[in-house]
Structure 1
Amino acid sequence: MNFNPNLLNRRNFLRFTTGVGVAVGLDYLIPAYAKPISNLKSSPKPTKYPDIIDLQIQETRLKIGDRNAEAITVNGSIPAPLIRLREGQTATIRVTNHLKQDTSIHWHGLILPYEMDGVPGIGFKGIKPGETFTYQFPVVQSGTYWYHSHSGLQEQQGHFGPIIIDPIEPDPVKYDKDYVVMLSDWTFENPHQVLANLKKMSAYYNTQRRTVAHLFKDLDWRQMRMDPTDIADVTGATYTYLMNGLAPESNWTALFKPGEKVRLRFINSSAMTFFDVRIPGLKMTVVQADGQNVKPVTVDEFRIGVAETYDVIVQPQQEQAYTIFAETMDRSGYARGTLAIASGINAPLPERRQRPIRSMKDMGHGDHDMSGMDHSSTGHDMPEMDHSSTGHDMPEMDHSSTGHDMSGMDHSSTGHDMSGMDHSSTGHDMSGMDHSSTGHDMSEMDHSSTGHDHHMSDAEDMHSTENQELDNVSEPMMTQSRLHEPGIGLENTGTRVLVYTDLQSLSSNQDQRKPDREIELYLTGNMERYMWSFNGKKYSQEKEIAFYKGERLRLTFINDTMMEHPIHLHGMWMELDNGSGQYKPRKHTIIVKPAEKLSVEINVDVSGQWPLHCHLLYHMKVGMFRTVTIGDRPVEAS
């Protein structure tokens, strides 16, 4: 590809003076972080929104930190230029592909026709080399969103950018300054090599594995095909963590005047990284989640999963600098920036936290460490436990205090022999259940006392006949709601951490119908062999899930793995069932913790086909993906 040296010089000038350079002459595409720092004003909304936006997908040589990099960029920058739209307009975006391979753009979180969603093979053919594709769709919402490639592993190579949609009605959030803070992970390796390394050895990038001194203590984990230090698949061993395209030493900076309300629009555009975000010395008031206004909640920090967005308001009063610190969940690195009264002023970095370790709770054993703990006071008497096969042979277990009667259950092939278990007091009589394959054949279960109508047993059936490639994967003993938990590594920080139960929609949800039916979707995988799937089936083995046009659907995620998964549904909102009643928050991406069971409700008010997938890029690539097909409700036989 031919490069214009003058254009690159201009981009590099912008990059090294302010943050991210955008090598185009279109002011409406240049985000605040790309303007010379001395000219930063209050980031006012545009008086005119563009009728047509032109984007060029190309290979670009640029610097990340002090190293040269080859990236796939939009208009020559990482991140791509900000697209700012207004609710009620029609967006027309022309995308030209200058690559030697197909490309695409998916408008993450936007509600639009499925042909415009931008996922190759699902209502869209992709954009061939040399071609221009015109996306055109009505803008029916407001808030903070983002866009990225859905082709190959291009997202990991820099192909992502922010979207701000200004509301047609007065914005309920008041602010003086407005900044996008886009977090990402960058590797100088070829992403396909990264994936090959993970397939060859899943712990390839885990440089924090424990020593031989922990060998005996970690035996249960070995049998679960996991390591208690498996917090992230890809780590700082290969990643450089970026804030608005800048490595930590480059220190992206945003300006403020004391007393001003500053809106920071955090977007996690990483391929694989969860970040814990804090600004030492400042409280953050969360006002928006995934582009949707929420009742303000003030916190010290929050965890942002891959593909999530959070808008926060800060109001610094002192004439000083503050560090915007985004530490990775596995503590292997961080992205950083500065909020300051003038350029060139830095604030100290906060003390780094110790790496977290997976607990028995992440294996579905509650808070109890089963390697020697006395569980007699919990009602889980395990005096005869034999861990010789999978660590879950419990023929003498007495669960009378829990009331789960499983006297007839056969778990022989999973190693969960619970013939003596009594669960009668929960109202879940499972005496006739046959769990001979995986323990999830629930075709005879009576759920009348739960209020959840289980018309959909196919997911359980699929899960109970998992593909043989996933054999020997032990499942959690139990799953439970963990919405109130801050997440691994944030349990005892002494800070106020945002949790999912804090989120409430600012306005009441209009549709208060009870769900017509429920689908249960199991998140499954084999970390040791680096296989990820739904219901034990990769996308190549089970492609579709059927939603019915016009229904209100309860979708329940059950995480049978020991890792967090950010699950993204295209084209429809998921209302998180977090106890907020008519104020359930609407999200496009939901983080499901290890051994967690959570539900969302969906109004199926669209047509066509829509992806549903884990937004960890390499998990999606190896099979944790489905196509949701919208069809008419089948006529039941009379």
Structure 2
Amino acid sequence: MHETIALNRRAMLRGAALGGLGLGLTNLFPAWAQTGSPGLRTDRPTLTGEDIRLRVGHSAFTVGGRTGHAITVNGVLPAPLIRLREGQNVRIHVENTLDEDTSIHWHGLILPFHMDGVPGISFPGILPRTTFTYEFPIKQFGTYWYHSHSGLQEQAGHYGPLVIDPAGAEPAAYDREHVVVLSDWTFMHPHQVMAKVKNEGGYFNRQKQTLAGLLQGSDPEERMSASERRMWGRMRMDPTDIADVTGTTYTYLINGHGPQENWTGLFRPGERVRLRVINASAMTIFNVRIPGLPMSIVQADGTHVRPVETDEFQISVAETYDAIVTPTEDRAYTLMAESIDRSGFCRATIAPRLGMVAPVPPLRPRPTLGMKDMGMGGMDHGGMNHGSMGHSSGGQLGDSAMGRGAAAPPAGADHAAMGHGSGGMNHDMRDESLVPPNIDVGVGVDMIAPIPVDRTGDRPLGLENEPHRVLTYHDLAPLEPFHDRRQPTRSVDIHLTGNMERFMWSFDGRKLNEGAEPIRFERNERVRVNLINNSMMNHPIHIHGHFFELVTGMPHGHPVKHTVNVMPGGKASFDLTADAPGDWAFHCHLLYHMHAGMMNVVKVRPMDDAPNASGTPPPSARSGGTGGAA
């Protein structure tokens, strides 16, 4: 097994001062991803225009002094930057040189469903030694990405960035830009990774608490009382189980460069530099900051937001954020991206000249789980509300946990009757009469959140007590209102369910192709979708072919997104206008969760060209809409 890269700080900085290992390997990266890339807007990308060719094949990939096997596009990792313009048409010819089927999904793009690139749902896939041509109009602008939707190829390197320039003026002016692709790399075969997590829950977690650490930890939040330890033990759960796959096997990358290789992007002091940050990881959620340099967030998931200044943001798998920074000093800055469980990080340098480095902050203490992550809302049970102490998110529950039994009780429920009285914490809630009727309760469901609450305004895991500003979804006010102002006519509850010990994941207790009925929407209907997380893991949920309004209750408007991270034991709601007819994938974007069954099909019917409820054709995604298939 590839162990966590032991970063020797002196060696890392010495290597960076010599220009970085990446400088000697620039032929292995596309031009935009090479360290020292100037990032000038006048530099034209290699893949642009109306006719683009991609070739999927095998390549060797080297990082941290080791070489492994990768699945790449045009022989590079990450894949080439595709740069398009709103209003154009594009034909993308994808040649498959593998001995297995492949595919490309255009993540976040509004296009005909049969061009969406999901084998078995929207097209058959690309057979070995054949070429498939994607052809569709470009109806939007913004920062997006593309990746395989076949097997676990995405983990092996099959992903790349996609930028669409607006047809008109850019509301957020900038002088220079850098595309920043975050990802996770393992030398272990992806199917072996899947086998490890299936066979042993917490296999990759090397940060488990010990008795000595619980009793004598230097951090007071690390210490637990005897009753707290008994509670966690009774649930057969580890409060440090934040991520399924960690830095014990992952090397975290920025533009294909490991931490020691120090990818560097250049600037001139005083320039406005746009950072297009894409989380193309298979399984890793990152916390991103640039010490000493505030970031102005101007776009989320490709849609414009009112500029909001922050010092740190969490980017879940498959999300994109555009940030503008304005460094005025002739000095270097470190772009730091920590994994959510703090088992590793990737970093880059933003500097006026190559060879400059900035201090690399040490990894912060890893977070642990708390009551909110169990679906207990904000209740404080004898000091066990770790959410109020800087703890939150992720994890698992065993068979003796709250599961296979407890549903969300009404407000004012008798918590003593649920085992939450003053007599102690009794989490063995197995009354199946309380389970929502749409959940299949079986071995694949080991927890039902008793009191899930909306957590879209919560600070993310491990960032609750940071003294600086931290972005939340409530900060993402859209620059333009969503195109459909109708109220939803119905509501749909979708429960995010799983059994962490057995690595079983599903919606409503049913896995795709094992009894899951498609989610059906009438074309142009307005629906509120309530995502209820009955697990102690974060789940970035993505719907293909549509954007939605995340319901936050904020007066300045609801964020417009295509992916939302649902925090553990919490819920998130969005309003969807189903104006894109066809069959669309709907899934958790943690690759191994999706592969394990947390996926379904959204069917939007009828398939004719009927106008929407207002009598006009569906609007372009340019105004926050979903477009509709051509």
Q: 1:478 to 1:501 in 2, by over 3 A?
A: same
Deviation, structure 1 residue 519: 0.4
Deviates more, 1:295-304 or 1:580-589: 580-589
- Cα offset for 1:405? 5.7
The 1:373/1:157 distance shift into structure 2, 3 A limit, reads closer
Change (3 A) 1:53 1:22: farther
Superposed, 1:104-503 pairs within 5 Å as: 104-213=103-212, 214=214, 217-368=228-379, 370=381, 390=401, 404=412, 416=418, 436-437=431-432, 439-441=434-436, 461-463=437-439, 465-466=440-441, 468-470=442-444, 473-503=446-476
- The change in CA–CA distance for 1:48 and 1:352 in structure 2 (over 3 A counts) is closer
**Per-residue deviation, 1:293:** 0.5
Greater length-normalized contact order (CA 8 Å, ≥ 6 residues apart): 2
RMSD: 3.0
Distance of 1:18 and 1:141 partners within structure 2: 37
Matches for 1:510-529 after TM superposition, within 5 Å: 510-529=483-502
Aligned residue in 2 for 1:595: 569
Structure-2 change in CA distance of 1:84 and 1:418 (3 Å):
same
For residues 520-551 of structure 1, give each alpha carbon's deviation from its aligned partner in whole angstroms, at most 9, with x where no partner exists.
00001110111111111111221411111110
Aligned length: 554
| Equivalences for residues 567-578 of structure 1 within 5 A | 567-578=541-552
**Aligned residue identity for 1:588:** H
| Displacement after TM superposition at 1:107 (Å) | 0.2
Structure-2 change in CA distance of 1:48 and 1:560 (3 Å): closer
Shift of 1:417: 7.3
Q: Report the structure number with the largest CA radius of gyration.
A: 1
2:75 matched to 1:102? no
How far, CA to CA, are the matches of 1:581 and 1:532 in structure 2?
A: 35
- Give the Cα–Cα distance (whole angstroms) in 1 for the partners of residues 43 and 91 of structure 2: 22
Partner of 1:8: none
**Shift, 1:41, TM fit:** 3.7
Identical counterparts, % of pairs: 48
Change in Cα spacing, 1:131 to 1:250, as seen in structure 2 (3 Å) is same
In 1, Cα distance between equivalents of 2:38 and 2:297: 27
Query: Is residue 23 of structure 2 the alignment partner of residue 17 of structure 1?
Result: yes
Q: Helix, strand or coil for the counterpart of 2:95?
A: strand
Counterpart of 1:628 in structure 2 is 602
Pair 1:616 & 2:627 matched: no
Using the TM superposition, give the Cα deviation of residue 222 of structure 1 relative to its aligned residue in structure 2, in angstroms. 4.1
CA deviations over 1:577-597 (Å, ceiling 9, x no partner)? 112457322111100001112
Q: CA deviation at 1:319?
A: 0.2
- Equivalent position amino acid for 1:439 in 2: L
Q: How does 1:50-89 map to 2 (within 5 A)?
A: 50-89=49-88
Residue type at the aligned position of 2:73: V
* Residues 173, 39 of structure 1: alpha-carbon distance in 2 compared, 3 angstrom cutoff: closer
In 2, Cα distance between equivalents of 1:244 and 1:391: 42
* Alignment-derived partner of residue 540 in structure 2: 566
Deviating more after overlay: 108-117 vs 14-23: 14-23
Mean CA deviation greater in 136-145 or 63-72: 63-72
Residues 163-212 of structure 1, C-alpha deviations (whole Å, 9 max, x = no match) = 00000011111111111000000000001000100011011000011113
CA shift in 2, pair 1:38/1:104, >3 Å: closer
Amino acid at match of 2:141: S
Measure how far apart 1:14 and its partner are: 12
1:61 corresponds to which letter in structure 2? A
Contact 2:181/2:279 (8 A) holds in 1: yes
Could you tell me which of 505, 508, 515 is aligned with 1:535? 508
Letter paired with 2:432: S
> What's 2:33 paired with?
33
Aligned residues of 2:288 and 2:314 also touching (Cα < 8 A): yes
Measure how far apart 1:20 and its partner are: 5.9
The separation in 1 between residues aligned to 2:536 and 2:37, in whole angstroms, is: 47
Work out whether residues 218 and 228 of structure 1, in 8 Å CA contact, stay in contact via their aligned partners in 2: no
Alpha-carbon distance in 2 for matches of 1:269, 1:86: 22
Amino acid at match of 2:438: M
Three-state SS of the structure 1 residue aligned to 2:432 is coil
Q: Where in structure 1 are there 5+ consecutive unaligned residues?
A: 1-12, 24-29, 375-386, 420-434, 442-460, 634-638
CA displacement at 1:371 relative to structure 2: 5.8
Shift of residue 37 of structure 1? 3.2
Q: Distance in 1 between matches of 2:403 and 2:245?
A: 30
User: Given the alignment of the two structures, is residue 551 of structure 1 paired with residue 525 of structure 2, yes or no?
Assistant: yes
Q: Which amino acid aligns with 1:404?
A: G
1:69-99 per-position Cα deviation (integer Å, ceiling 9, x unaligned): 1100001111000000000001110000011
CA distance in 2, matches of 1:486, 1:361: 12
TM-score under structure 1 length normalisation? 0.82
